[in-house]
Amino acid sequence: MGVRNPKSEISRYPAIAVSRDKRNLQSAMKKKHFTIPIFVPELACPNRCVFCNQHSISGCE
C-alpha cells in the first residue's frame, strides 16, 4: 500500500522522467575523468612487438 511503482509514475507524468534524465545527464557531464597511463615493464607481455614491448616504451632496460 505504501510502495510506489516508478513505472506507473513515469507513464502518468512523462515530464518528470524527462527532467530526471536531463539532471542525470548534466551531472554526469560535469564530472571530469582523467586517464593516466602507467607502464609496468615487469608485467607486460614477453613478446617484442610494437604494442607489447613495454621496455622500449617506458625507457626501462
Residue 43 lies in a domain: yes
In a domain, 1, yes or no: no
What pTM, to 2 d.p., does this model score? 0.21
| Position 52 in a domain | yes
Give the span between the Cα atoms of 35 and 19, in whole angstroms: 31
In angstroms, rounded to a whole number, what is the distance separating the alpha carbons of residues 17 and 48?
53
Which residue reads 500500500 in cell numbers?
A: 1
Q: How many structural domains is the chain composed of?
A: 1
Summarised one tens digit per residue, pLDDT across range 1-59 is 556 655 555 556 555 555 666 677 667 667 677 777 776 666 656 666 666 666 666 66
All cell numbers assigned to 46: 614477453
Helix (H, G, I), strand (E, B) or coil at 61: coil
Phi, psi of 55 (to 5 degrees): -65, -45
Smallest CA-to-CA distance from 41 within 50, 31, 33, 53 is with 53
